[in-house]
Amino acid sequence: MFEAYCSRCHGTSGETVVVGPSLAGIATRGGSRIEGLDAAAYIRASIMTPDAYVVEGFPEGIMPADFKEHLSPEDLEAVVAFLLTLR
């Protein structure tokens, strides 16, 4: 799922910026980005409502907002599970 939907715009190592921010370390950083959200909830919300928590230095509207139409609940959880391995 990550390869199909995310890797075109997000790198997973170092600070590599493809289009969007690098996801390296998202499992660690995600839990401290928004008060009250753990890493899984932050990642899930960022996928389903991408403009809710825009990373500083990146413009709103750059990430597609229609993933809820393309990802089944199982697909979403598979992406979240993968991203939680990126410490």
Tokens 């697909």 correspond to what residue?
A: 75
Domain boundaries, the chain: 25-87
pTM of this structure: 0.93
pLDDT tens string, the chain, 87 residues long: the values are 999 999 999 999 888 899 999 999 999 999 999 999 999 999 999 999 999 999 999 999 999 999 989 999 999 999 999 999 999
- Dihedral of the alpha carbons of 9, 12, 17, 23, in degrees to the nearest 10: 90
Contact (Cβ atoms closer than 8 angstroms) between residue 60 and residue 54: yes
Q: Which residue has the tokens 């389903």?
A: 48
Kindly give, in sequence order, each residue whose CB lies less than 8 Å from that of residue 84, ignoring residues fewer than 6 positions away: 26, 27, 39, 40, 43
- The C-alpha atoms of residue 64 and residue 39 are separated, in whole angstroms, by 21
